[in-house]
A and B are shown apart, each in its own frame.
Chain A
Amino acid sequence: VRMRCRIPVILLACGSFNPTTNMHMRLFELARDHLHQTGQYQVIEGIMSPVSDKYGKKGLVSARHRVAMARLALETSDWIRVDPWESQQDTWTETVKVLRHHYNEALRAFQTKEFMRNKQPTESSTGDSVSCQRAVLPELKLLCGADFLQTFKTPNLWKEEDIKEIVEKFGLVCISRAGSDPSQFIQESDLLSEFQHNIFLVREWIQNEISATQIRSALCRGLSVKYLIPDSVIAYIAQHNVYTAESERSNEGHLLQPLRLPNTAIKHLRD
């Protein structure tokens, strides 16, 4: 019986998670379903990586809280976890570096597992379409929404070589809502078109656009956010008084960290 090996995939989502909402977690579920339905992939893990405080975004509360809330939100998930590495770095870290870090970690884990497996005589696993006689290297893909993809064209926000590495070496899984279609945006970019085989576009038909900004705004007004974010996160926010009018003003007037970096020879994506 010839068994077709599925490529193991790890999904990594970078973002503020300020706070984590039901929509953030939906992205993972949608991406996993989509990749599984291609028949070629097996999603083995999901990682949520909250950005460091040094990102300098307006209204960003301390990473300690954001990581804690993400952890609470993911309590009921058996495959998604939060990783605080990025949030613990001294400076803001480019997305491509976060990808590299997690890929190296995955590789290390894979090699350890392979080493252990080879120490024991192989026992064929019957009927398991996922494990193969020869183990397949896992792939790490960046999970994002369509708006994230659009930021590629914001001047000075991304280095073109980083975008290239992301789509070439890693890959993108991009969730978009029923109305919008990012394929045109991809067509209009030579770089993205070249690697479109590695850009997975997933349509979200069940619209659920819970923006974290709206959540914070509702909280400041004393309005309910129940059923938009997990109850455990609501309780945490109340207990620690995370979001206030004051927290909304943090980093006000400051430039986002990536925009502050010297940007010699940064090419605009559309050039």
Chain B
Amino acid sequence: DPDRKTEVVLLACGSFNPITNMHLRLFELAKDYLHETGKYKVIKGIISPVGDAYKKKGLISANHRVTMAKLATKNSDWVEVDDWESCQSEWLETLKVLRYHHQKLLSTDVTNSLQDAVPITKLGRKRKQESNRHEPIKKKNQSPVVKSVPQVKLLCGSDMLESFGIPNLWKLEDITEIVEKHGLVCISRAGNNVQKFIYESDILWRHKNNIHLVEEWITNDISSTKIRRALRRGQSIRYLVPEAVRAYIEQNRLYGPESEDRNAGVVLAPLQKYASDPRSSQALN
């Protein structure tokens, strides 16, 4: 019954410095996995590059990173790029980005439901120009179908999940809300330690039904770090990133030894923020 499926939006947060074929694969794998459960329908994928205020070493300007992500997804009919996070002047916790997109999803959903239900109010009268013109009344005969609330799930690799254990990087209450209210889709390589990591954490264990583990059988280790390294050494990155991204990097001469030195010695934004916050040094277990 298609109406009983939960609609899901997959949200991937990260540096995307630069975006690679591996990042894009995460979406494909997650969508296939969720569809095969028969319980979910993935309606959208969102790539949300982190803002420059994150201060990660080697992070180049958000403008470039967003542009490259857009080039990478121009041939996708369901994955898109959102630059809201990257436009913020301060670094934002991942949970805040999740909440933002969840809110957005809910209000779009409400608007859509309203559009279906609202009839024309004044027949025969010309309305003022509106951005949403409604069709003449098409009332649904049956009672509204109860769809479960659409969800935004965080899409990530096992490295992000395991980073929950790094002191001062995440607030425990954030992790809790992420897995409790939203959910995680975590892609990892065969033979990984993710299940063990979940087992060893009470919070993660409690919400393990909301943590979807997807195994990637095709070993795909195309990390942005390796891409940047190859570029510094004048080596080819063809077929590891979309061709349009490769061309953009070449034209704009991104990623050299100087760009890799950006933020050298600077403390990562979350670490800076939480260093003195007792809530974040709480153990994950």
Residues of B within 8 A of A225 (CB): 28
Given contacts A206-B221, A210-B218, contact A227 B21 (CB under 8 A): yes
Stretch from A27-35, A52-60, A256-264 that touches the partner: A27-35
Q: Say yes or no: is A115 at the interface (Cβ < 8 Å to chain B).
A: no
Given contacts A76-B243, A209-B218, contact A33 B235 (CB under 8 A): yes
Given contacts A206-B230, A227-B21, contact A30 B236 (CB under 8 A): yes
Contact A22 B218 (CB under 8 A): no
Given contacts A224-B31, A227-B21, A231-B75, contact A206 B222 (CB under 8 A): yes
Number of interface residues of A (CB under 8 A): 25
- How many cross-chain pairs have Cβ atoms below 8 Å apart between A and B? 63
Given contacts A205-B226, A206-B226, A228-B25, contact A25 B239 (CB under 8 A): yes
A22 to B219, CA, bound (A): 13
One of B29, B218, B236 near A29 (C-beta < 8 A):
B236
One of B32, B221, B234, B239 near A22 (C-beta < 8 A):
B239
Contact A208 B243 (CB under 8 A): no
Contact B236 A32 (CB under 8 A): yes
Residues of A within 8 A of B226 (CB): 205-206
Q: Say yes or no: is A150 at the interface (Cβ < 8 Å to chain B).
A: no
A26 to B221, CA, bound (A): 13
Residues of A within 8 A of B242 (CB): 227
Given contacts A207-B220, A208-B220, contact A25 B24 (CB under 8 A): no
Nearest chain A CB to B148's CB is how many angstroms away?
25
Residues of B within 8 A of A228 (CB): 21, 25, 218
Q: Say yes or no: is A116 at the interface (Cβ < 8 Å to chain B).
A: no
A161 to B238, CA, bound (A): 36
One of B24, B75, B217, B239 near A214 (C-beta < 8 A):
B217
Q: Say yes or no: is B249 at the interface (Cβ < 8 Å to chain A).
A: no
Within 8 A of B (CB), among A22-49: 22-23, 25-26, 29-30, 32-33
Within 8 A of A (CB), among B49-80: 75-76
A26 to B242, CA, bound (A): 13
Interface string of A183-214 (1 = CB under 8 A from B): 00000000000000000000001111111001
Q: Say yes or no: is A134 at the interface (Cβ < 8 Å to chain B).
A: no
Q: Say yes or no: is B240 at the interface (Cβ < 8 Å to chain A).
A: yes
Q: Say yes or no: is A223 at the interface (Cβ < 8 Å to chain B).
A: yes
Residues of A within 8 A of B222 (CB): 206, 208
Contact A208 B221 (CB under 8 A): yes
**Top 4 A-B pairs ranked by shortest CB distance?**
A207-B221, A29-B236, A224-B28, A22-B239
Seen from chain B, the residues whose Cβ lies within 8 Å of a Cβ on chain A are 21-22, 24-25, 28-29, 31-32, 75-76, 217-223, 226-227, 230, 234-236, 238-240, 242-243
A-B residue pairs in contact (CB < 8 Å), sample of 6: A32-B236, A205-B226, A208-B220, A210-B218, A225-B28, A226-B24
